[in-house]
Amino acid sequence: MVDPRLSDAPGSQPAKVSPWRDPRWRSYAFQAVLMGVIGFLVYEAFSNASENLKRQKIASGFGFWDTNSGFPISFSIQHYSEATSTYGDAFWVGMVNTLLVAAIGIVLATFLGFIVGVARLSKNVLVAFVARWYVEILRNLPLLLQLLFWYNAVLKALPGVKDSIRLPMNSFLNTRGLTTPRPIPEDGLGWVGLTLLLGLVLTIAVRIWARRRQESTGQLAPVGWISFALLVIIPSLAFVVAGKPLGFDVPQAGRFNIVGGLVFQPEFLALLFGLVLYTAAYIAEVVRAGIMAVSHGQTEAAYALGLQPNITSKLIVIPQAMRVIIPPLTSQYLNLTKNSSLAVFVGYPDLANVFTGTVLNQTGQAIEVVGITMLVYLSISLSTSFVMNWYNRRVALIER
Amino acid sequence: MGKSVSSNNNQPFVQHDVIAPSRPPSNLVGPVGWVREHLFGGVFNTSATILIVLFLAWVLPPFLDFVLFDAVWTGVDREACIFNEAHPIVGACWAFIKDRFSFFNYGTYPIPERWRVDLFFVLLAISIIWLLKLSLPRRDLGAIYSFIILPVISYFLLIGSPALGLPIVTTNLWGGLLVTVVVSAVGIVVSLPLGILLALGRRSTMPAAQVFCIAFIEFVRGVPLITVLFMASVMLPLFVPREFEPDKLLRALVGVALFASAYMAEVVRAGLQALPKGQYEGAMALGLSYGQMMRLIILPQALKVTIPNIVSNYIGLFKDTTLVVIVGLFDFLRTIETARIDPIWAAPTVSPTGYVYAAIFYFIFCFAMSSYARTIEQRLSKADKR
């Protein structure tokens, strides 16, 4: 007997399949079960949570946000005082501190990472050897161990205030941290800043114009010199004309204390050091992979066209390598930002430390506090990945 | 060479023989040439070489002095490692590590029961070697042993079971290496299957499963592990009925396992995406069901290409286990932190010694894992190059 499914004439109805064997129905059934299970778990969690909170007499809600916090924070850029500030203020202090250490860390880690990454590919075997073992050692040790090492074994073991280590530019390093001259803006610095901003805008405009002109006529413009003039020479002139409106509060070493200056606390330094050195090892690997991803034929073709090595790397290798480097580089930046939450362990008052640490202990509002903290990190991550997706679509090779 | 270029050319001004190439200048070949090219090529290279040599000469001898030559190897308390007239220079205080060695390994696990931890370590070592050494026989049995038998045995061995004559040891007594190993082992064993499920869900055509998996993966990957652990530690007890309130270790295990699964899901997804579509279509054309297709065709290939990434994920997980101190567990690093500030051993070099010991420990494990991943990668690339 012929299978009816095989003998179907074109245009006839497909054979009836029992819903149990129909992939469509099965998928509906599976999704219904999945949603049922998730719904049940969420419902259970909520009912248990409300019951447990009632029993522990914790009122849920965000009422604590405007209550006086009453605890000091050891490091804050903006104004914060334990007598008058609220938990909301503490949140903002923590958030700014997180962003501060992340921003400085990202800049320094990028510099160091690119240097080490290029050094790993160096023809000089000694340079390559040192870079390789830097990466191997730093990547294979937990970040927490490195932070504790910097904090407890290095910075805490520095000499006391009396025997501070003197660094160039009137800086002092001791067990209380690093003291450097504090820049004091005076009248007229705003104008210099404005010149710099204007120069930046003009530079971008000139670059766009130069590229358009080159694409249409093939003529090159001295973009480098113009940028240098706009960004360095004119602002420096403005600085001199305005009467050098920048003073420095230079720290003075007294008998028992160092007076004045800008103090970077050991907590901040340890966190910054640890994050920069650790992330730079990962960035170095990203950079190395990016450079190696540019096929050797590209370089050879450039040499065959008569381009010199430095022009080749500037115009041929780096643009192609950056396409490969930038996506993983961004995820390293995100990792650094997320890892800055390890500040808890060295006592730097970042968001995780201030909020999920002190505020949580004082208020007991576990769900709200942990929820807000996660939301902050989540929005940083998601917004970055949106920007990255946009960028990736823009630079992706258009393949046939 | 001397080979004649053309036999019937008798013009006197034509060169008859190919001139043998002259040897390259002696300073471009051999060891001299190598050194010139790799160490002293140009001003920049030369100065880099000199700077690095000076740096190594500045750093290495004091480090070796500290770790080996000035180190203190014997002693029972801080007296051995403090500066005094008898030894004005004191290096690493290895006596401290020796004295606290069992604390670093077992935490406060009761001393008469410590053989159970040792047995657990031995059983675990057998499973790891059986699974990783490719030349050993019956590695399928090894998988059953590692993923089914070993967890069950370990549970009863470590926690105890009065029926078997093993006294109960509550998890708040566990510590040191034991906690680090348990947390990473559970994370490793749970995260792979869970990560595969999440990755398959993310790529499935069912909207409900897809949305749930994407939301879970992106949420967990978007927040730091510390906040996940905080959540597991302060929120998990709120979400479950009072009578099931999990102990600290279980909370940390849940947090670490969920966190690792989300990262594993992305690694597996990359492997799935790398497979050509023809593999799926071929499997479907053969009439395989979804489960058969995944189990027999897709996953073996996808997992094979992602093994290096899976291992580097495991390295990250192993390093991340140090963060479980935040929920109050005594992992390996925490035992060192506790011991180093203990007044019995208060001496200036005890802290650095503790950190050097911890660094050696973590480095050996992580480096071994990454070397294994590299070996596997080379094996796989060999297979692709046929």
Which residue intervals of chain A are DSSP H helices? 23-55, 87-120, 125-139, 143-148, 189-217, 223-228, 234-241, 266-293, 296-304, 309-312, 318-339, 343-346, 351, 360-363, 366-395
In a domain, A349, yes or no: yes
For residue A311, the enclosing domain spans 87-156+279-395
In a domain, A271, yes or no: no
- For residues A260 and A264, give the distance between their C-alpha atoms in angstroms, rounded to a whole number: 12
Supply the pLDDT for residue A9. Answer: 53
Q: What is the pLDDT of residues A107-163, one digit of tens each?
A: 999 999 999 999 998 888 899 999 999 999 999 999 999 999 999 888 888 888 777
In a domain, A331, yes or no: yes
- For residues A321 and A46, give the distance between their C-alpha atoms in angstroms, rounded to a whole number: 49
- How many inter-chain contacts (A to B, CB under 8 Å) are there? 143
Residue of A139, A285, A376, A377 to mutate, testing the B interface (most B Cβ within 10 Å of its Cβ): A139
Put simply, the answer to whether A140 touches B218 (Cβ < 8 Å) is no
Supply the pLDDT for residue A400. Answer: 46
pLDDT of B85 higher than 90: no
pLDDT of A104 higher than 90: yes
CATH architecture, domain B98-109+169-384: Orthogonal Bundle (1.10)
Q: Tokens 């080159």 appear where? A: A214
3-state DSSP of chain B: CCCECCCCCCCCCCCCECCCCCCCCCCCCHHHHHHHHHCCCHHHHHHHHHHHHHHHHHHHHHHHHHHHHCCECCCCCHHHHCCCCCCCCCCCEHHHHHHCHHHHHHECCCHHHHHHHHHHHHHHHHHHHHHHCCCCCCHHHHHHHHHHHHHHHHHHHHHCEHHHCECCCCHHHECEHHHHHHHHHHHHHHHHHHHHHHHHHHHCCCHHHHHHHHHHHHHHHHCCHHHHHHHHHHHHHHHCCHHHCCCHHHHHHHHHHHHHHHHHHHHHHHHHHHCCHHHHHHHHHCCCCHHHHHHHHHHHHHHHHHHHHHHHHHHHHHHHHHHHHHHCCCEHHHHHHHHHCCHHHCCCCHHHHHHHHHHHHHHHHHHHHHHHHHHHHHHHHHHHCC
Average pLDDT for B336-347:
87
In a domain, A99, yes or no: yes
Q: Chain A 340-379, CB below 8 Å of chain B: which residues?
A: 341-342, 344-345, 352, 356, 360, 366-367, 370, 373-374, 377-378
Closest CB to B363: pick one of A48, A140, A374: A140
Taking the domains of chain B in order of start, what are their residue ranges? Answer: 98-109+169-384
Q: Give SS3 for A82.
A: coil
Q: How far separated are the first and last CA of chain A, in Å rounded?
A: 50
DSSP letter, residue A123: S
Q: What is the pLDDT of residues B103-136, one digit of tens each?
A: 999 988 898 889 999 999 999 999 999 988 888 8
Cα atoms found within 13 Å of the Cα of residue A222, Cβ hemisphere only: 5
Q: What is the pLDDT of residues B162-201, one digit of tens each?
A: 888 888 888 888 989 999 999 999 999 899 999 999 999 9
In a domain, A308, yes or no: yes
Supply the pLDDT for residue B217. Answer: 93
Q: Decide if B230 contacts B254 (C-beta within 8 A).
A: no
pLDDT of A378 higher than 80: yes
Q: Which two tokens stand for residue A391?
A: 């960028």
Residue of B44, B93, B217, B226 to mutate, testing the A interface (most A Cβ within 10 Å of its Cβ): B226
Q: Is A130 on the interface with B (CB under 8 A)?
A: yes
Average pLDDT for A174-181:
83
Q: Chain B 347-376, CB below 8 Å of chain A: which residues?
A: 348, 351-352, 355, 358-359, 362-363, 366-367, 370
Q: Is A44 on the interface with B (CB under 8 A)?
A: yes
Q: Which of A10-14, A281-285, B270-274, B320-324 has the lowest mean pLDDT?
A: A10-14
Q: What is the pLDDT of residues A301-347, one digit of tens each?
A: 999 999 998 889 888 998 888 888 888 899 999 999 999 999 999 98
Supply the pLDDT for residue A6. Answer: 54
Closest CB to B235: pick one of A35, A145, A367: A367
CATH (domain of A130): 1.10.3720.10
If one compares B227 and A256, the residue with the highest pLDDT of the two is B227
Mean pLDDT rounded to a whole number for chain B: 87
Is residue A264 within a helix (H) or strand (E), and if so which, with residue range?
strand A262-264
Q: Domain count of chain A?
A: 1
Say what the ipTM of the complex is: 0.88
